[in-house]
Amino acid sequence: MMAKAKVRMLLACFGLSVFFTIFSYRLIYLQVLKHDEYTALAAEKHLEKTTIYSNRGEIRDVNGEVVAANQPIKTVIADGTVITNPGALADLMAAPLEMDRAKLLEMLSTGKPYIVIKKQVPESVANDLASKMNGKTLRGVYFEQDSSRIYPNGTMLCHVLGFVDHTHHGVRGIEKSMDNYLSGYDGFRYTEHDRTGKEIEFYRGQERPARAGCNVRLTVDLGLQNIVETELSAAVKQFRPASAIVILMKPQTGEILALANWPNYDLNAVGDYKEDDMKDRAIEDMVEPGSIFKIVTASAALNERAVRMDTMIFCENGHFNFAGKVLKDHHGYGDLSVMDILMKSSNIGAAKLAMLLGEQKFYDYIRSFGFGERTGIALPGEINGLVHPPHLWSKISISRIPMGQGVGVTPLQTVAAMSAVANGGHLMMPQIVHEITDEHNTAVASFPPVEIRQVMSAEVSKEMRDALKRVVSKEGTAVLAAVAGFTVAGKTGTAQIPIPGGVGYYDNKYVASFEGFMPADNPAFVALVMINDPKTGPEQYYGGLVAAPVFSRIAEKAARYLNLEPHPDDTNTNKMIYTNARD
């Protein structure tokens, strides 16, 4: 009897041992071996990574005026899994969101957990909607914070600013080139929620705050930009050109004070414009500069001491037969001094100056002035231009390049070159960004002036300035560039437009330009006005007639804006009653 009981007890003990062993094994399996997997699954149920969105930095002009900012907006999201009354929600939301009720109802009834109902909803509409839903205790619709980029000035400075895409990254202009600074980065927060979806703050996990993007302060002065754009717009109305460019630069530092292109586009309605309208022709387009380029030829010859300002050059009475081709001046000149060559814009004189230098030396100077390479301005899409080395030149190149034919330059390169003439011979890198600051206005990066190289001596620079003053005189080609009370120096250009494919030039299409600086002896700015294919009367398409007056109006207004002191004796056109302004 006792033995049987003992066996039964042993069996029971054994059974229990096996039973508990199995349980223990299962427990160890779940708690130890599968720990990570089930922890992750549990976390997935309750843990949520919330993104803390960062704000894109603002863009401001040199005086702090906002030119690109952010407008908070909301994205309306629906969670179909918790919506109990889609009909009531559709009734409530259709009108404020300006959506069709039937379509809205269809979206709300899908039962999906994440339904994007509408993007770019104004804050006021979203807040109003939220309070109405709370009042009626409707669940399942929430709002995600977002922002849209706004450009308060519309078309103003559009080519410099550029715009952003739907991911808030820059596509053109400063928005693109400074994207790394402007973007900032999003933060995150791990949170746990209870069954109703309410956050349990007690279990709040790892958190990284968002870092707002830096603010970019440009060198551009909106006051000057406004003057430039107003005058450019008037010129476009008058001449109906294919395109037009005005650039204002501070020659001592290379800071761009204003930069305007036509055609332009509205930054707040980018989709309404063609790609071509968005092209920043100041850096993305290559033009034959025409007579403006003679400043390079003359500066090079003077700097190499191949000539002096008063050296006389025989200008072949207007017809120069060179390498089997005839180079002409529009008036026949005999002997002209170097100063007169600039003043009267003699093509033959310029060609002979380059010949005195020789092909290689002349080419070296062209490159030294920055042609054929990017200026390095902080804008995307800048091109090099096209300057062939001498071994690729034709026989007549040495007679054509000195007057700005057969080279491709960007308008900005010509402004940098003229600045070197204006500032004592220093080629400065054009700057468009003045400073970058963080959200607390602490400077993160600054952009001091960068001198690329000295391209001519200070003496030659002064001689050139004196010669260019004469260009804006009654004997010169740019008398209409004169500004009362100030001495203006500059150079006109009227370049034929090449036919695409390299088969010569159009007979009736020209690029009329004037590039000058003021006051001539201590310039506050260098300005380029370039009008591409102006529609004028016959023989009225010259830089001196089309671009020079635009320069004059811009310079006069800019002088007032910059508070430059006028001096009655400093007027190129003082007591002048007639003009001869064709180049």
Q: Which residues are catalytic?
A: 291
Q: Counting contacts by CB under 8 A, is residue 36 touching another protein? A: no
Report the C-alpha gap between 20 and 208 in whole angstroms: 46
Instruction: Identify the residue among 495, 527, 529, 547 touching another protein (CB under 8 A).
Output: 495
Decide: 170 and 278 in contact? Cβ < 8 Å: no
Report the C-alpha gap between 20 and 18 in whole angstroms: 6
State how far Cα 284 lies from the chain centre.
11
User: Of 492, 467, 506, 495, nearest to 545 (Cα)?
Assistant: 492
Q: 398 vs 429, which CB is nearer to another protein?
A: 398
Q: How many residues does the chain have?
A: 583
Q: 105 vs 484, which CB is nearer to another protein?
A: 484
Q: Counting contacts by CB under 8 A, is residue 80 touching another protein? A: no
Q: Binding segment for another protein among 37-45, 87-95, 288-296, 409-417 (CB under 8 A)? A: 288-296
Q: Counting contacts by CB under 8 A, is residue 228 touching another protein? A: no
For another protein (CB under 8 A), the number of binding residues is 75
Q: Which residues fall within 8 angstroms of residue 341, CB to CB, at 6 or more apart?
A: 294, 298, 313, 315, 349, 350, 353
User: Of 219, 167, 215, 161, nearest to 53 (Cα)?
Assistant: 167
Report the C-alpha gap between 466 and 298 in whole angstroms: 13
Q: Counting contacts by CB under 8 A, is residue 200 touching another protein? A: yes
Strand segments, DSSP code E, in 251-352 are 255-262, 312-314, 319-322, 325-328, 335-337
The nearest distance, CB 75 to another protein, in angstroms, is 13
Q: Which two tokens stand for residue 172?
A: 């053109």
Q: 382 vs 533, which CB is nearer to another protein?
A: 533
Q: Give residues 144-163 in contact with another protein (rule: CB under 8 A).
A: 145, 147, 150, 152-156
Q: Binding segment for another protein among 20-28, 105-113, 162-170, 283-291 (CB under 8 A)? A: 283-291
The nearest distance, CB 238 to another protein, in angstroms, is 12
Q: 75 vs 574, which CB is nearer to another protein?
A: 574
The nearest distance, CB 96 to another protein, in angstroms, is 17
Decide: 309 and 339 in contact? Cβ < 8 Å: yes
Q: 56 vs 176, which CB is nearer to another protein?
A: 56
Could you tell me the maximum CA-CA distance found in the chain, to the nearest angstrom?
147
Whole-number Cα distances in Å, 431 to 220, 418, 537: 9, 15, 38
Q: 268 vs 457, which CB is nearer to another protein?
A: 268
Instruction: Identify the residue among 144, 199, 364, 439 touching another protein (CB under 8 A).
Output: 199
The nearest distance, CB 67 to another protein, in angstroms, is 9
Decide: 532 and 241 in contact? Cβ < 8 Å: yes
Question: How far separated are the first and last CA of the chain, in Å rounded?
Answer: 134
Q: Give residues 291-320 in contact with another protein (rule: CB under 8 A).
A: 291
Decide: 125 and 97 in contact? Cβ < 8 Å: yes
Strand partners, 148: 71
Strand partners, 328: 319
Q: 369 vs 551, which CB is nearer to another protein?
A: 551
Q: Counting contacts by CB under 8 A, is residue 325 touching another protein? A: yes
Q: Counting contacts by CB under 8 A, is residue 404 touching another protein? A: yes
Q: Counting contacts by CB under 8 A, is residue 190 touching another protein? A: no
Residue with tokens 């160890």: 28
The nearest distance, CB 121 to another protein, in angstroms, is 13
Q: Give residues 345-374 in contact with another protein (rule: CB under 8 A).
A: 345-348
Q: Give residues 452-481 in contact with another protein (rule: CB under 8 A).
A: 477, 479-480
Decide: 562 and 524 in contact? Cβ < 8 Å: yes
Q: Give residues 529-568 in contact with another protein (rule: CB under 8 A).
A: 539, 542, 545, 549, 552, 556, 566, 568
The nearest distance, CB 416 to another protein, in angstroms, is 21
The nearest distance, CB 293 to another protein, in angstroms, is 9
